[in-house]
Structure 1
């Protein structure tokens, strides 16, 4: 007798053993990795995409693929043991000449998980040098409990030409449908009966309607089209609803979608220094967009995220109950050992397991991170936070999922967060298993976690004990060591002070914005009233006999409005730097006010003169006295207003101080008599002494945190130091340093890139030049008109590169006398195309041409190129585009002017700051480097709106000798 296998057994081993969609995809991706693939992907082609009549799901890898023999002897043979033996292959054609890999699969049935994805299925696979293999099957056929495995025909065809797949696909389907030719088995019993008749009908219908639509066929042909193509692809014609819903944008299935994303992210261990270089993606193709589902909600963790962790654990569990490693608490590293007091025996040994785990604080105020860093890490933790398990660098599901808190962190925290510090959602990192070192920690048959055997229970017991003890030692509310709590308190205090300062700064910003918004109306009202008074005064002065009393009120009102002019412009806050937009608006307001003053001042002076002519000396002295007194009164008013504010604030602070102090004293003294009356033993004296001391220390700390700093601050105040100005200057400097540091990293990379590109260009030019030389020897080729164009265009490209190339090599250049004429000719050649394209008039004076500059040639060329390049950009929208180069011999200054956009006065100095730019995507480096380079050469450059230089009323730069 022999065992016979029902077809249902394969269904139970395959789809029946897969817990969920991510597990099914993971199993197939692992098989791809075992086949030495570097790219593992899945594609959902949604109905409507490029005219598709239905949705398709495709999962593929670029592994070594299979020949017909491989398909028959390996893929169709269940439970193959080559992986479970964990034998390393030798580097060869079978490894695609890559380093041998430890196999991720081990049971030999992972391939059957494709049945979970939907039906029917077309498998396509190709090995280098072999024809394409196609296998068509509908896994639901295996659900028939009357069929034995040897009753089933699995159609396979070889294709020497991939293009024939579409025409021969119906033959594959016909071969599969032959499974339904027989109505009865050998005992003359019906094969399909009862409810399974409907199943049979569905399988036949869907096979007959399975077609390779053009977008899908093109994808297949693209994947397998080349002679050296290799890999395996599974095409599912009717994917399950869970796959289809991955493309939906509504919130109804957001949890299910995130479940898939978080389960398939971090497929290989991203936390390790040297990780497996495997690319994974789930591409969604819809009628309106295409994107990778795995990165659609944010990127997964990397090893660099450990640097941002407030707490970092790095060590190893020895498999016997012990841990040894290091703990970084904020910026301090300590050695830490732990031994679980559990009972030990040889059967519970689970092998050495490393752990690397980062932990982030729940509140920004308790973290050393910047606001941006904290927000970024918190977003990642909310999406992907958890403790992952990797075996041989491959993720073991379900560990790391939000619902896979297998060490019960949250359960303990819910009992007492102050004791059980660690939260599952705030951690990120891994426990690293190896098949070789941890053979007893094995997957369940469903691939959904590890089997709960003796070794697993010992392992989890050790890790739980470690985290509980570590929390009690350092992180609990009443921890044995105060390192973490002391540092956390210090950080909290600093952050709370900064938040309070930000709140005050925000209030000032709002007030400043309001004043900016109210300015136009204020100046309109002032101007209307002022001009009305001038008109009235003008009418009065036209009277032949006018007395002082008739114009006295008008003159008084004008004097009052004159004093108010100063207060019309909003005061710029000293404690923070206004935005560029606010400064821009303020600049426009000042311009408007200045124009208003310029407009009315001549008329005001003319009327004053007429008034002097009309009025007697006595009247004028009275008016002068009034004006004098008005200035005194205005000054007194300002000083008294601020003194009143000072008095009110002093009274308020004194009152607040006394109330807070009284509350602290009362807190300590209110129970004094009650405590004294309750003491009846010596032991109680000692106990109450400790409690009172603890309460005293708590109240003292509160006083030191809230009361004393204010007094110390007031003691340091001085009329000679503007504290607001100092604080604002430091804050502005800090923000500028932060911004510059971020930009400096990009600049450094840019410099490296230029060096690499320069080297590569030299080699590339040499190769192209040599190849063109060889081609020119062939008369048939060189006679073509297009070849002549190619030679000419290459020569122009080489000429441009020759112009630019010397600018890279400033350090080796020599100082020499360079004429203005040389600079002018160089610029005309360098900007030849732009000058023609924008119809730019390039003026140059004879004085400029004759002038000699003693400097390194690359430096002066770089300066002029940068300024002219900026000029071209800012002149694009001007009707008249002129660039002018001039030299003023009497003051030895070079002028570079253009008719583009004028630089506002407040920006004239700022444009030379590092990383300051008004151009979209501008780096703000050019003018900074130009100034630095000229300074080193004994020259200086500045921008000006002085009409003596800026004759074109655009941007104007002056180069002069540096006298500092």
Structure 2
């Protein structure tokens, strides 16, 4: 007797044991890592992409690949023990791709079967160095037939030596695969395909017939493996991927689809432990190909997963090691305080269940901004991450163990305890981020379930789980509960709360002041219209009266009085620029427009008023003028008295309220102490009682004194520091404005630093790709048939256009090595026109150059001049987009030795003329505020300066005008 195995057993071991899509993909990626791959990818090619008739899925590794013998002896042999019992390879040779030997991530020998979960049918393409490409075609649904035995299944494999043979080889594979349907009966005479399984049979056949390889698919999938002797790797091409894979390409579908998509992205993130620095054992990517040249990368592009840097943003950090018997030794960082910490287990159950040493590094982020020491931006950054991906992760030999870290994988029951009493059980699963580190050698008894969905719940695991639960309960009891034995956390949290409360109160007050200022900006123009209308009508009336013969002064006296009152009230029509905060650019813009109205009023009505007053003086007697002069003085005095009285009443009310509140708080403190005194005296019956109550009274005194120092004394000190010689509001506003500028600049510096690093990497990669494409085009150009192809001609023309742009940019890369030289401005104009040729034509922009500029010669480093001009030109294109006339003028003023660059776009507001050269200041919606700052800095270093002006003698186009001059 011997065992016989049904084919569906493989289905149960493969697709049936895979919990979900991320698990299936990670199992295949682990196999790729074990094959010494450096890059693991998953790719969805959507229907219509490069002429595809339907969407396909491709999962790839650049590992060592397989020969035909490897496929037959290993890949098609289930449960191979080569990984589970293997030690590290002894040599760095072809089997390791000459890399350092790796600890195997796979273990059970069935991970390869997870490919069945991804869809059907499947084409495996694999190549080992020195061997031909191997193709294997199969539809895993065939295993669902419960009448088939394993030895009834035929899996076809074909060699491939050239790309030109792909279609023929694929056709052979499909024909060979169809042999599985030729037999009608098994060896015992039973029907293989019963009536109820005929639908499955038809589906498999239909999928096999519909599986096609287009030219573009062949080019994409095979080109990097075939025809190159030293190429290597493995690819799984799925012709009909499951819906869940296709949904990954849909960003804005219904709620269920979006949740599934985010779940997959989150689960595939952190494949290799990202919480460790420099731990990039392998690179994982998940691409969506929908439109040519617009590929999306899901894991790194959208994942926003954790990095080792995020630990710096943790309000609480646990860093140490469990010894395998329940004890912990390490450090706790609570805000900015580092505390050595040891925990001794008290467990008796599982006392002898050793599970091996387990390092832990776990950060914790406060859920409320007021409880954190982080800045607003830093808090938002880490809060976004923990909201999306927070949890306690487990990694074995640096590889993520699913499902730990997922929202529904709270295996230590943090939330369950927290729901019972939040004050006792401090830790929340969704606010933490970090890992527990397992290894196959160090923790052999903590094993994966056969479904690769968590650890087996054996005695060592239950001991491990119980120890961690007890540890976190004790840590919360020691430091974080509302009755913590040590008050380090609570004291710091209280201090942060008070500080943030004070800041928040100040922000609310400032917000109200800003709103009031904005409301006033809305109200002033209407007030001014009413004022202007009355002033104009009074002037008209006055002019009427003084034109009458023998007019008496008394007839015009009432009009004069009202006009004078309006002159005094004129100051109230000018909004006071706030000193306690910095007005926004938008508010300043509105002020500028309002000032234009005021200026127009002063230039017209006010001038007319002065002329009329002269005529009034001519017809009035000296006595009348003295009377009118005295009345005017009284109006001024009355206005001063009104202002003084109004503000005195405000001051008196506020002082009264403060005194009342001071007395109430002081009485509350004294009353509290008096009650403590009575209680203490009532309990003092012996020497011991007196000693005990004395200590209690002292503690009460210290507590009340602390309250007094935190509430009353700061107010008194603040009032005491106040002086008529110091404008506290102005000082506070200046510091706030400076702080806000520094904070914004720091955030931009971080962004710019990251951008700089990215550019440094991209620049190298771009140069490599650029040279490679250039060589390939040159090679293809020699092949007549290809060279005459219209698509090739278009490709070559496009690349040559890119090449021209690259040549134009090349001088800009050499600022450090460049030397100053004489540059003809006529050459500068040629460069500018070449650089912006397409933009100038598309946007119909005219460049006007004066003779003096055309013949001028400037001595400067070429890259400095060109980068400055390119930046100015780009700004000009943006601000001219809504202009009817689009012109950019270049001029040179010989006497002043100044270069002018002006355009017909939007004028720069007066208050922005100097700001636009500040670092990170920009009025463009997507501007970074770096270009003009760098332009000014580089020109200053080169002995020149640049500024913007609205002076009409310079700015003849009434747009933006920049002046470059020697910095003498």
- What is aligned with 1:101? 102
Secondary structure in 1 matching 2:566: helix
Distance 1:149 1:687, change over 3 A: farther
Pairing partner for 1:545 from 550, 553, 567: 550
- What is aligned with 1:359? 364
- What is aligned with 1:777? none
1:808 corresponds to 2:816 = yes
- What is aligned with 1:23? 23
Pairing partner for 1:138 from 133, 137, 140: 140
Secondary structure in 1 matching 2:182: helix
Pairing partner for 1:271 from 275, 283, 306: 275
1:14 corresponds to 2:14 = yes
Check conservation: 1:135, 1:172, Cα contact below 8 A: no
Pairing partner for 1:640 from 645, 652, 658: 645
- What is aligned with 1:779? none
Secondary structure in 2 matching 1:898: strand
Following TM superposition, by how much is the alpha carbon of 1:626 offset from its aligned partner in structure 2, in angstroms?
Answer: 1.7
Alignment of 1:603-752 (within 5 A): 603-667=608-672, 669=674, 697-745=702-750
Following TM superposition, by how much is the alpha carbon of 1:667 offset from its aligned partner in structure 2, in angstroms?
Answer: 4.8
Check conservation: 1:827, 1:865, Cα contact below 8 A: no
Secondary structure in 2 matching 1:139: helix
What CA distance in whole angstroms lies between the structure 1 residues aligned with 2:802 and 2:160? 45
Following TM superposition, by how much is the alpha carbon of 1:33 offset from its aligned partner in structure 2, in angstroms?
Answer: 2.2
Following TM superposition, by how much is the alpha carbon of 1:112 offset from its aligned partner in structure 2, in angstroms?
Answer: 2.2
Alignment of 1:822-833 (within 5 A): 824=825, 827-828=828-829, 830-831=831-832, 833=834
- What is aligned with 1:882? 889
What CA distance in whole angstroms lies between the structure 1 residues aligned with 2:354 and 2:558? 102
Q: Which moved more, 1:50-59 or 1:705-714?
A: 50-59
Q: Which moved more, 1:12-21 or 1:73-82?
A: 12-21
Pairing partner for 1:843 from 844, 850, 869: 850
Check conservation: 2:135, 2:160, Cα contact below 8 A: yes
- What is aligned with 2:422? 417
Secondary structure in 2 matching 1:571: coil
Secondary structure in 1 matching 2:36: coil
Check conservation: 2:11, 2:140, Cα contact below 8 A: no
The superposition leaves residues 406-425 of structure 1 with CA deviations (integer Å, 9 ceiling, x where unpaired) of 22323333344333322221
Q: Over aligned residues, Cα RMSD in angstroms? A: 4.5
Distance 1:913 1:794, change over 3 A: closer
Following TM superposition, by how much is the alpha carbon of 1:844 offset from its aligned partner in structure 2, in angstroms?
Answer: 6.0
What CA distance in whole angstroms lies between the structure 2 residues aligned with 1:794 and 1:263? 39
Check conservation: 2:403, 2:409, Cα contact below 8 A: yes
- What is aligned with 2:205? 207
Distance 1:870 1:568, change over 3 A: farther
What CA distance in whole angstroms lies between the structure 2 residues aligned with 1:793 and 1:114? 44
Check conservation: 1:866, 1:927, Cα contact below 8 A: no
Check conservation: 1:137, 1:154, Cα contact below 8 A: no
Pairing partner for 1:578 from 583, 593, 600: 583
Alignment of 1:201-280 (within 5 A): 201-212=199-210, 218-219=216-217, 221-226=219-224, 227=226, 228=228, 230-236=232-238, 239-240=241-242, 243=245, 247=250, 249-252=253-256, 254-280=258-284
Pairing partner for 2:456 from 451, 476, 486: 451
Aligned residues: 933
What CA distance in whole angstroms lies between the structure 2 residues aligned with 1:448 and 1:932? 57
Pairing partner for 1:380 from 385, 389, 399: 385
Secondary structure in 1 matching 2:87: coil
Following TM superposition, by how much is the alpha carbon of 1:126 offset from its aligned partner in structure 2, in angstroms?
Answer: 4.0
Following TM superposition, by how much is the alpha carbon of 1:364 offset from its aligned partner in structure 2, in angstroms?
Answer: 0.8
Distance 1:689 1:41, change over 3 A: farther
Structure 1: unaligned runs, 5 residues or longer:
775-785
- What is aligned with 1:174? 178
What CA distance in whole angstroms lies between the structure 2 residues aligned with 1:136 and 1:770? 39
Check conservation: 2:888, 2:903, Cα contact below 8 A: yes
Distance 1:166 1:554, change over 3 A: farther
Following TM superposition, by how much is the alpha carbon of 1:723 offset from its aligned partner in structure 2, in angstroms?
Answer: 0.8
1:401 corresponds to 2:410 = no
Check conservation: 2:350, 2:463, Cα contact below 8 A: no
- What is aligned with 1:81? 81
Check conservation: 2:902, 2:962, Cα contact below 8 A: no
Q: Which moved more, 1:398-407 or 1:742-751?
A: 742-751
Pairing partner for 2:513 from 505, 508, 511: 508
Check conservation: 2:156, 2:173, Cα contact below 8 A: no
What CA distance in whole angstroms lies between the structure 2 residues aligned with 1:764 and 1:656? 73
Check conservation: 1:940, 1:962, Cα contact below 8 A: yes
- What is aligned with 2:113? 112
Q: Which moved more, 1:254-263 or 1:355-364?
A: 254-263
Structure 2: unaligned runs, 5 residues or longer:
780-792
The superposition leaves residues 94-137 of structure 1 with CA deviations (integer Å, 9 ceiling, x where unpaired) of 33444332211111112223334455544444445413412212
What CA distance in whole angstroms lies between the structure 1 residues aligned with 2:343 and 2:380? 33
- What is aligned with 1:163? 167
Distance 1:870 1:602, change over 3 A: farther
Using structure 1 for the length normalisation, give the TM-score: 0.85
Following TM superposition, by how much is the alpha carbon of 1:75 offset from its aligned partner in structure 2, in angstroms?
Answer: 1.7
What CA distance in whole angstroms lies between the structure 2 residues aligned with 1:427 and 1:802? 48
What CA distance in whole angstroms lies between the structure 2 residues aligned with 1:750 and 1:671? 63
Following TM superposition, by how much is the alpha carbon of 1:729 offset from its aligned partner in structure 2, in angstroms?
Answer: 0.6
Distance 1:52 1:840, change over 3 A: closer
Secondary structure in 1 matching 2:511: helix
Following TM superposition, by how much is the alpha carbon of 1:572 offset from its aligned partner in structure 2, in angstroms?
Answer: 2.3
Secondary structure in 2 matching 1:546: coil
Following TM superposition, by how much is the alpha carbon of 1:237 offset from its aligned partner in structure 2, in angstroms?
Answer: 5.3
Distance 1:752 1:206, change over 3 A: closer
What CA distance in whole angstroms lies between the structure 1 residues aligned with 2:768 and 2:57? 45
What CA distance in whole angstroms lies between the structure 1 residues aligned with 2:62 and 2:767? 35
- What is aligned with 2:93? 92
Distance 1:660 1:143, change over 3 A: farther
The superposition leaves residues 30-69 of structure 1 with CA deviations (integer Å, 9 ceiling, x where unpaired) of 2222223334344456778788776655544343333332
Alignment of 1:856-935 (within 5 A): 865=869, 869=873, 873=877, 877=883, 878-879=885-886, 881-888=888-895, 894=898, 896=900, 898=902, 900=904, 901-919=906-924, 922-925=927-930, 928=933
- What is aligned with 1:531? 536
What CA distance in whole angstroms lies between the structure 2 residues aligned with 1:372 and 1:714? 33
Distance 1:453 1:131, change over 3 A: same
Check conservation: 2:123, 2:137, Cα contact below 8 A: yes
What CA distance in whole angstroms lies between the structure 2 residues aligned with 1:346 and 1:929? 67
- What is aligned with 1:63? 63
Q: Which moved more, 1:464-473 or 1:863-872?
A: 863-872
Following TM superposition, by how much is the alpha carbon of 1:840 offset from its aligned partner in structure 2, in angstroms?
Answer: 3.0
What CA distance in whole angstroms lies between the structure 1 residues aligned with 2:141 and 2:392? 36
What CA distance in whole angstroms lies between the structure 2 residues aligned with 1:156 and 1:753? 43
